[in-house]
Structure 1
Amino acid sequence: MTEFLRVLTDNWSLFADGFSNTVQLFLYSAVGSLVLGTLLGAFRVSPIPALRWFGATYVNIVRNTPLTLVFAFLVFAVPKLDVNIDYFPSACIALTVYTAAFVCEVVRSGVNTVAPGQAEAARAIGMTFDQVLGQVILPQAVRAMVPPLMSVMIAMLKNTTIAAGFSVLEAGAIPAYMSERGEPQFIVLIWITIGFLILITPLVLLQRSLERKWAVSR
């Protein structure tokens, strides 16, 4: 137990920096993917064929592309176009672009759970598509969207570890640094697992709390 605790206390600054960057990656990417994914979801259910086509094409391409390739494109290919982006912003963009495709499908599925009569009634009183979606459909669809949306966010939190392979110091990069210091990798991995459990648990508890609250309100 002494050796187990020593690995953490002797390398506390490295663990703190790694998980701090992981949290920042998650927060920035979560906001970005929710905004972009909701916009794409609106495209998927739009009455305009071109927008539906764009949303469907984006989802089919990005969702079937490995996240590692998205990172590689932003880190290695984009600079060749004379667009220089630091590693951390590149990681945020990669996670946002990738996760938005899954958020889009969650939004689309949630919208489809709302009875068509709701939209028809709103249009009958003269509301525009934007008003129908923002004021009538999405507020009702949120209840169906939360469980899968939280699962997408949890998956994105774990996906932040891929950034370690592209020169971003976050939790996934800790084992490499600790190996150079000669620390036991098994113990290091246990601490990283504990760290991710600490980060993921609030998301799971929030999901369950909202599900119970909305189940009662129904």
Structure 2
Amino acid sequence: MFTILANNWSTLLSGLGYTLMASLIALVGSLVIGTLFALMEISTYRWVAIIGRIYVEVVRNIPLLVITMAFYVIVPTYVVQIDGFTAGTIGLTIYTSAFIAETVRAGIESVAVGQMEGARSVGMTYTQAMVNIVFPQAIKIVIPPLGNQFINLVKNSSILAFVAGFDLMYQGKIIANTTFNTFDTYLAVGLLYLILTMPLSYYMRHLEKKWNVA
């Protein structure tokens, strides 16, 4: 394994950079989109809630590879030309956003109904009560499951290897094919993924303790 790392360090480092970039973009994008659809699911407007629920249920039940290939094959053919990295990152963002939406929705609904009612009774609008009272409490509740989703996102970024996304797994596959040393190559790739996910895991634990999340 160490020979593979030493001889192909620049290639693996390049792949690690693409993986990190895709993960960060997808993390921010999926958090924004997921939170938006979570709020839509609990909207008092029935048609908005229906749209939110349909999005979450449809996306959650379609494999990540299918979503990614749709952007890699269908979008460039009929809409606009995009490369594998972009297609993979968009697919990863959309797929993860559905799971984040469910996590955030569950967190919001776990906050006592009286919190919203109390805020409304003192003159706050629904939006003000949600932003200032309910949502901050919900975020503390969903930190552990959100952390798991973010870690899964980093691991799922290996989907870029299927669409020539130049990520860590893609570079590992090239190295394995050229060196014929599959075991050591993927062991090295696994180690690098571990370097990415372990700090995130420890940081989420730190937030749990800091915010006294049970």
TM-score by length of 2: 0.96
**What SS is found at the alignment partner of 1:215?**
coil
Alpha-carbon distance in 1 for matches of 2:86, 2:172? 22
Q: Does 1:66 align with 2:57?
A: no
Structure 1 runs (4+) deviating above 6 angstroms are none
* Aligned match for 2:159, one of 159, 162, 165: 162
Residue in 2 that maps onto 1:49: 46
Q: Equivalent residues in 2 for 1:1-218 (5 A)? A: 4-215=1-212
Does structure 2 retain, via aligned residues, the 8 Å contact 1:33–1:96? yes
| CA RMSD, 1 decimal | 1.4
Alpha-carbon distance in 2 for matches of 1:57, 1:5? 48
TM-score by length of 1: 0.94
Alpha-carbon distance in 1 for matches of 2:181, 2:157? 23
Identity among equivalent positions (%) equals 35
Alpha-carbon distance in 2 for matches of 1:25, 1:215? 31
Alpha-carbon distance in 2 for matches of 1:111, 1:60? 18
Alpha-carbon distance in 2 for matches of 1:64, 1:181? 36
Count of paired positions = 214
Does structure 2 retain, via aligned residues, the 8 Å contact 1:18–1:169? yes
Q: Deviation of residue 183 (structure 1)? A: 4.5
Does structure 2 retain, via aligned residues, the 8 Å contact 1:7–1:183? no
Structure 2's unaligned 5+ residue stretches are none
